Structures are given as structure tokens and as C-alpha cells.
Structure 1
């Protein structure tokens, strides 16, 4: 019975862990603080968009038994276009993930420091936060364990605990059902469009497509397992979306207008929930940081090994060197005195360029008869996919414009 149930659960929790990072916690909290429940509909849209893209990427991984990066190398025939595509993917994913990694580590550290502080040490021109270093070491230990199963089990536990922390916070503020339903009705205004882009952008993450397509083949080997892949994908993305909604609901009950640390997240809630509020949110922020600190270098390393045709075995040298590079860059960036928001802005620029290109490539690939056979997209899935691609194109354009202050 246990073995039968295990077939339904795969890398989905890692995908949820990847998009519920400190950036998501901050964006969702500010959405709640500034707009109440008005933007819950944007998270519903992001859940639908993410499910469609992640299911396509996972199906490609199951049918081909290799990840998206490897498929880029083998399906783009023109040498110039192939090298351009691989270079763009490597730069965007590796540098973008290193920037996200710095934000993940710093965000997790902010949560942990509400329980205890470790201080910092100076090393040449770097100011090394010891909590950042500890979180980086924990992530490195898990990734160097050489076991996808161990990583999945630990991250699944952390995701469950993180979800409970945020869900309990939302339940304790006792939201009105009618108000929640009103928040499901789309409202787009000049003042909330940037937040809408941020809410959807923190859920639809390009590197998750690479991560998912690669990890699916580690769990499932037969095309008959497609129903399990879809169940795992839908369950994880929907639950992740519900957690994001819970953060919005919790933020709406507070009064903090600026979020720079876990204390800011909690201070507006203390009149309602007491001092326990900050510990709920602090643990949630810590768990969000550490889970994303594991998935970001893992995804980046799978991209590197896939692009060059190297082994993606987690205990192999190519994966270990790639993991060490991305995690090391993340730690270095987090020690340069650059604010996490600035680091995430750099990653947003990379994602803004990559997301429409990558989603378009996924849609093209999943319709390739020679590759997918009878498991290519139906006309209905293609209709949904085109709508999703237009959304990613708009998101990408708005993200780039936001970085250059054109909005």
C-alpha cells in the first residue's frame, strides 16, 4: 500500500519549495498590506499558468528521460542558434540563480535571526554574516549528500512545516469568506500592476521548468506513470499557491508598510496574534529561505550538466562543481552588502528575458511529434498554452521595464 501511494509523489514538493522563497514571502505580504485581498485572483492565474507550463516540462522529461537543457542541445539543429540558446540559458540561469541564491540565503537568515544571532566576521572586503554561512553550509551538505531521495524527503518536511506556519497565521486572523471571494474578481489598476507582475512572476519561475523536467526522469521511468506525474504536479503547485494566498491574507491583517526583515512582517500582527506572530513568520521565512537555497543551485547545476551533455548524477563531479559554483556565488553576493531586493532585481531581469523564450520553446517541444509521439499536446492544451505564452511575454516585458524604471 505504501509503495503504491509513493508512486503518486515525486519532485513536486521541490517545485513548490523553489517558488515559495523569501521573495515570494515579501511580495505576498506587501500585496496583502497594500491591497488587502484584491489581488488573490492574480495568484489563481499564476497557479493555472504554472500548472500548464510545469506539466508540459514534466511530460517532456518523462517521455524523453532527459531534462530541458539536454533537449535544447539535441533538438536545435542550426549550430549558431544552438550555441546562442545554450549561452543565453546558461547565463540567465546560472547568474540568475546565483542572485536568487543570495536572496534565499539572506532571507532565511533574517528568519533564523529572530530566534538567535551569530553575528558576522570581516574577511578582506567581505562582511560575512555567520548565519548566512551556516545556511549555505546546510544547503551544501544536503546537496552533497548524493541522494535525490534524501533531499526530497527533507525538503518535503520543511515545506509541510512552512505551509503550516503560514496557514495557521492566516487562520488566526479569521478572514471573512465573502471578502476572500471578492478578491478572486480581477481588478487591474495603475497602482497595482507592478504587484500583479511580481505575484505571478514569483510563481512562474523559469528554472523550475528545468528542475522539474530533469527530476521527473529520476522518479518515473515509464510513460504509463504520466498520471502520477500530473497528480504530483497539480497537487504541489495548488498547495504552493494556497500557501502564497495565506501569506497575502496574513499580510492584509497587518499594518507594516515596509518589509525588510521578519520583525517588519510581524509587527502589524502582534496586536491581533500577540508575540507568537513573529515566531510563526520567522520560521516560515527561514524554511522558505533554506528550501529555496537548496533548489536554486540544484536547478542551475542540472542546466549546466544538461547543456554540456555531462552526467546529472547528483554525486558526480560535474554536478558537485556546478552546485559549488552557484552556491559559492550566492554566498559571495550575500556578503557584498548588496540588499536582497537588489539581487532579486538582477534575477528578475534574467527571468524577464528568459521566461517567454523558454515557455515558447517548451510549447514547441511538447508539440514535436518526432519527440513526443502520441503524448504531444491536444488542441485544447495548445489553446491554453498560447494564452499562457502571451501571459509570460507580457510578464517578461513588464519585468524588464520595471528593472529599467520604465513603469
Structure 2
């Protein structure tokens, strides 16, 4: 692979090979963003409204493609990370980002590993849920601590394949309802469904991990605008794949729960309720297949966080210390990267045994609700001003989409804050 020096780093040239052979960072980003909470939100939407909100899942997929393409375009066009872009907008971005990434990591470290513990406890009963959560944290810690990016990408791509084949495969059992399913492509708003539309269109797969996309393809060696088409292909394929996965969960919920008038819990444990329904209708084998898919989705989500958000934290510290972007400490395996891996893994274990302090949960909810509007609005600023070369700035069509997306994120934010302060 040839290279030349520009913007202070090695600018690589895309290989002459089939595009599908080089995709990977997009799958990592998309799989990381689809965790247990997203799946249960989709499942509950299917339970309550059948297939009527299928269109919202498709809208959500398009939104993520547009937003993450913006992150990737800024990174490749400027040679800078997204945090560098935020810093260039003013110190106010740091005032938000610093407490957010610290509190978010502490609470997510417990919530994410608990999500992995649920399918593990169903597949291997007899072990306390807290023990499985600790085991999940330790395994993820080891993989993030010792694993290079290429290994993490291959492992997560395999898990995406597992979750896709299992859940989409189960959804095909519902194809006898295809005419009814297709009616969900027509945008409608059933009574009391608006909050679920916001969740599906504006929230599914929407976390800090969307902003980590540029860090992953930087680790893979994609530098410079010549990678733009590869990045766009990678991003689109990844979110289409995970979009089909999310749609499959809605179809399963619509078929098994809505038609049978069966309610599931709104927490992640509701995914175990679905396992019980699957076992009753299709037997133990299908139930186990579903649980394996659930496990792959939950584990790929936390592994992506341990790797990607740790890279973002390392970049944050690197900027504070004015380190160059190619400095070892701001990449996988560097000391700042590993500090955040430790932070994600061990302090949150206390929450499994001591409970979750109200103040932390409140702070997590408030800061988290602001992140997607923060990302959408800052991208609009970065991609329409001198921060991005003229050639790679937004056109009117992308600006229109990003404005609509940001408005939806703001509405989702207001809804989440209302839930937080309402208790």
C-alpha cells in the first residue's frame, strides 16, 4: 500500500480490491450502537403497535447513515478527529464532554455488562446474574486491553454475522404475515405512538459511539479524502445490515407479542420475556438460537464501547496535553486508552452489588439526553464552515436532512429529560 505525507500523518491509498473486502469500521460502529436497550425499545414498539412503525426503523437507519457519514467525512477531509473539531468550536464543548464521558462510562460499565449477563444467565442458569456481569466485564477488559483494532474488528464482524443470522432468521418465520408487514412502510402515527417513533427514528443506535466512527477507521489506516468513497460504502452497508436486524426485532414483536396480546417488560429483561414466548411457540432450539443472537448483540455493543469510547477519551486527554495525533498514548494500547478501559471495567462493578446511586443515574440520563442533539448541531457547524474544506462541506440536501435529524434529536432529548425528572 503506497502512502505520502500530508497534514502531519501518513496518507494511505485505498487498495485495488472489491469494496466489501475493506469494510469493517462501519460494522463496528453500527453494532456498538445497537445494544440491549435499543432492542427492547424496538420489541416493545412491535408489541404495542404491531408493524405500524416499521417505517420509523427505516427512517432511523437513514438518519444514522447521514449522521455517521458526516463524522467520517469531517475526519477524512480535515485529518482531524471529531473531538478536535469540537474543541475548535469553543471551550464550551469540553465543559460538556468531560463530565459526560466520565459519568457515562461509569454508569454504562455496569449497565452494559448487566445486558450481557441476561442472555448468559438464560443460556447457563444456576449462576447469579451479578457474577455473569462481572465475568462479562473481565472478558471485555482483556479483549480491549490486549486486542489490536484488527482483531476487535474481525471479532465484532463475526458477532454481527451471528446476530444477523439468528434474529433475521427467526423473523422469517413471520413472513406469512408479509402483506400486513408491508403496510408498516406507510408512515402512520397510531395513538400514543409518538414517543416510540422518536425512539425508533431518533434513538436506535444513537449514542456517543456514533462519534467514535472516525477513530476506528483511523486505527484501520484510512487517512485522507481518497478514502471517502470507501468510507461511505462501509458506513452505508453497516447501517443497512443493522437496520435489517432492528426491523427484524420489530417484526418478531409484532407477530409474537402484538398479535397474541402479550406484554413484555420495558427494561432489557423484556428480551428474556420474548425468549419464553419463542420457546412456547417454536420450541427450545429456536429459543436458544434467539438467546445466542441476543448475546452477540449485547456483547458486541460493550466490546465496541470498551474500544471506541476509550479511544475518544485518549484523544481528549491527548488534546489537553497537546500531543500529536500519531502519539502512541492516544491510540489503542496507549496509557490513556487503557486508563479508560480500567474505568469502564472495575469501578462500575461496585454498582452490581451496591445498587445505582440516584445522583449518578440522574446525571447519566441528563447528559446522555443531550448527546445526540450535541452531535447533530456541532456537525452542522463543522460541515458548513471554514472548519471543513469547501469541497467537502454539506450541500443543501444533506443540510436539510441534518436539520430534520437534529430537530428529532432535540424532541427526543426533551422526552428523555421529562422521563428523568418525572422519576
Per the normalisation by structure 1, the TM-score is: 0.88
Residue number in structure 2 paired with 1:41: 55
**Other structure's SS at 1:369 match:** coil
Q: How far apart, in 2, do the equivalents of 1:186 and 1:45 lie?
A: 10
Corresponding residue of 1:333:
351
Corresponding residue for 2:99? 91
Q: In the alignment, is the contact (CA less than 8 A) between 1:12 and 1:233 conserved in 2? A: yes
Query: Do the aligned residues in 1 keep the contact of 2:203 with 2:412 (CA within 8 Å)?
Result: no
CA contact (8 A) 2:25 2:213 kept: yes
Give SS of 2:330's match. coil
Counterpart in the other structure of 2:287: 278
Q: Any idea what SS the aligned residue of 1:402 has?
A: helix
RMSD over aligned CA atoms reads: 2.5
Does the CA contact (< 8 Å) of 1:173 and 1:272 recur in 2? no
Work out whether residues 66 and 214 of structure 1, in 8 Å CA contact, stay in contact via their aligned partners in 2.
Answer: no
User: CA–CA distance in 2 between the matches of 1:405 and 1:116?
Assistant: 37
Change (3 A) 1:147 1:210: same
The answer on whether the counterparts of 2:52 and 2:190 sit within 8 Å (CA) in structure 1 is no
Match of 1:235 in 2: 237
What is residue 132 of structure 1 aligned with on the other side?
133
1:183 Cα offset (Å): 0.9
* Change in CA separation of 1:69 and 1:60 when aligned onto 2, cut-off 3 Å: same
Residue 380 of structure 2 corresponds to which residue in structure 1?
Answer: 363
Matched, 1:287 2:301: no
Q: Does 1:168 align with 2:169?
A: yes
From 17, 21, 24, give the equivalent of 2:38: 24
Q: Is the 8 A contact 2:103 2:360 kept in 1?
A: no
> Could you tell me whether the CA contact under 8 Å between 2:19 and 2:233 is conserved in 1?
no
CA contact (8 A) 1:139 1:294 kept: yes
Question: Aligned residue for 1:399?
Answer: 416
Distance verdict in 2 for CA 1:392–1:249, change over 3 Å:
same
Name the structure 2 match of 1:181: 182
Q: Does 1:298 align with 2:307?
A: yes
Q: 1:50 aligns with which of 43, 60, 64?
A: 64
CA shift in 2, pair 1:369/1:282, >3 Å: same
Question: Is there any run of 5+ residues in structure 1 with no aligned partner, and where?
Answer: 121-127
Match of 1:66 among 80, 83, 91: 80
The answer (yes or no) to whether the contact 2:202–2:405 under 8 Å persists in 1 is no
- 1:169-207 Cα offsets, whole Å, 9 max, x none, are 101233422212211222224422222222234425241
C-alpha displacement of 1:243: 0.2
2:113 pairs, out of 98, 105, 123, with: 105
Structure 2 unaligned regions, length at least 5: 1-14, 324-328
Alignment check: 8 A CA contact 1:19 1:202 kept? no
The residue that corresponds to 1:307 in the other structure is 316
Following superposition, the deviation at residue 146 of structure 1 comes to: 4.2
1:154 alignment counterpart: 155
TM-score normalised according to structure 2 size: 0.85
Partner Cα separation in structure 1 for residue 109 and residue 189 of structure 2? 31
50-59 or 129-138: bigger deviation:
129-138
Q: Secondary structure at the match of 1:176?
A: helix
